[in-house]
Amino acid sequence: MLLGEYQHHLTKGNRLALPSKIRTEIKGSELVLAKGFEPCVLGYEKATWEKTAQTELAKPVSEKEARQIRRQLFAGASQAEIDQQGRVVLPINLLSHAGVTSEMVIIGAGDHFEIWQKERWQKYYETISRNE
Residue-level pLDDT at 55: 95
* Per-residue pLDDT tens digits for 113-131: 999 999 999 999 999 888 6
Candidates 113, 116, 115; CA nearest to 45 is 113
Across 85-106, average pLDDT? 96
Across-strand partners of 106?
A: 6, 115
Residue 11 is classified by DSSP as B
Cα separation, 24 vs 89, in Å, equals 18
- Give the pLDDT confidence of 15-41 residue by residue, as tens digits: 999 999 999 999 999 999 999 999 999
Distance separating alpha carbons of residues 121 and 132, to the nearest angstrom = 17
The answer to whether 124 and 52 are in contact (CB under 8 A) is no
Q: From CA 91, how far away is CA 78, in angstroms rounded?
A: 8
pTM equals 0.93
| Residue 80 pLDDT | 98
The pLDDT tens digits for 44-80 are: 999 999 999 999 999 999 999 999 999 999 999 999 9
- Asked whether the predicted pLDDT for residue 132 surpasses 80, the reply is no
pLDDT at 58: 97
Task: Provide the pLDDT confidence category of residue 95 given band limits of 50, 70 and 90.
Answer: very high
CATH code for the domain in which residue 69 is found: 3.40.1550.20
Residues of the domain holding 89:
5-130
SS3 of 2, please? strand
| Number of domain units in the chain | 1
Residue 57's H or E segment, with its range, is helix 46-57
Measure Cα distances from 110 to 13, 43, 99, 114, 118 in Å.
28, 11, 23, 10, 20
pLDDT of residue 129: 87
